[in-house]
Amino acid sequence: MDSAESRLAVGVVGTGRVGSALGAALQRAGHRVVAASGVSEQSVRRADKLLPDVPLLPPQEVLAVADLALLTVPDDALPGLIEGLVATGSIKPGTILAHTSGRFGYTVLDAATRAGALPLALHPAMTFTGTEVDVARLAGCSFGVTAPDPLRPIAEALVVEMGGEPEWIEESARPLYHAALAYGSNYLVTLVAQAKDLLAAAGVREPGRMLGPLLGAALDNALRSGDLALTGPVARGDAGTVAAHLEVLAERDPQAARGYRALGRLTADRAMASGLLSAEKAESLLGVLNKEPDA
């Protein structure tokens, strides 16, 4: 952006973990966060920490003073927010309106676009903590960017200014894009937390310390080699070991057993497709994985 554009007045509608971090990143890039909105006590505290001295106002008043408005509310709340802003005449022609939902592209902003807004979808592919560390994590973070072609340079420039890397996502691909990120990130947390619980039950005093190097190596290998990084009893076709795992999990934690069974079937399919698991070994393995547990 040129020097004039680099001094945009920024408003943040929703000072959750994402909004506070992006607002702080834009402020570091030379923009001015002039107003924000937050309702919960946590949002107010977060804004005070990451956006100090920025007044907290109702969303309509935030848009009244903003050249760039970040709509950083939960996905399901976004359509209703836009509807309300349009109904109250809060959209100023020429305002850059950027939401951070992974699910939606820019067409969710159609009503605001008809009122003169410039629509952008800027979704950071990052997990946020609500602390100062989030701003540093934006360095090199990929953003899923969707916008009308004439606005693409603005969208990409804003991402770069926040330290991120723009990745263009077609409007029709947004749901698949977001599902992939949720599949890989959100469910990873579930798996790791479950593994920690099971290790603690097995008597391991510091499950996180044990898992850290193993999971770090597994993630690195998977990112480098995909399915060829698969190891363990399922990829080897060790049906007896898998049966023993399922037996003890069914006794200790039936939910974990169901998750192990589902992931085992998926892993077996991918191991077969990549040539790691022979059809002969897969047959006995899948017999164990597909066997319904006793009531």
The model scores a pTM over 0.85: yes
SS (H, E, C) 13-59: ECCCHHHHHHHHHHHHCCCEEEEEECCCHHHHHHHHHHCCCCCECCH
Instruction: Please give the C-alpha separations between residue 43 and each of 36, 39, 59, 101, 145, in angstroms, as whole numbers.
Output: 10, 6, 14, 18, 26
Instruction: State the CB neighbour count (10 A cutoff) for residue 258.
Output: 14
**What is the CB-side half-sphere exposure of residue 83 using CA atoms within 13 A?**
5
**CATH architecture of the domain formed by 176-290:** Orthogonal Bundle (1.10)
Query: How far apart are the C-alpha atoms of 72 and 23, rounded to whole Å?
Result: 10
Query: Longest Cα pair distance anywhere in the chain, in angstroms?
Result: 69
Instruction: Please give the C-alpha separations between residue 208 and each of 137, 186, 251, 276, in angstroms, as whole numbers.
Output: 22, 18, 23, 29
Q: Each residue's pLDDT tens digit in the chain (295 positions)?
A: 544 445 899 999 999 899 999 999 999 999 999 999 988 888 888 888 999 999 999 999 999 999 999 999 999 999 999 999 999 999 999 999 999 999 999 999 999 999 999 999 999 999 998 888 999 999 999 999 999 999 999 999 999 999 999 999 999 999 999 999 999 999 999 999 999 999 999 999 999 999 999 999 999 999 999 999 999 999 999 999 999 999 999 999 999 999 999 999 999 999 999 999 999 999 999 999 998 776 5
Query: How far apart are the C-alpha atoms of 40 and 30, rounded to whole Å?
Result: 28
**CATH architecture of the domain formed by 5-169:** 3-Layer(aba) Sandwich (3.40)
Q: What pLDDT shows up at residue 5?
A: 47
Q: For the chain, which residues make up each domain, given as ranges? A: 5-169, 176-290
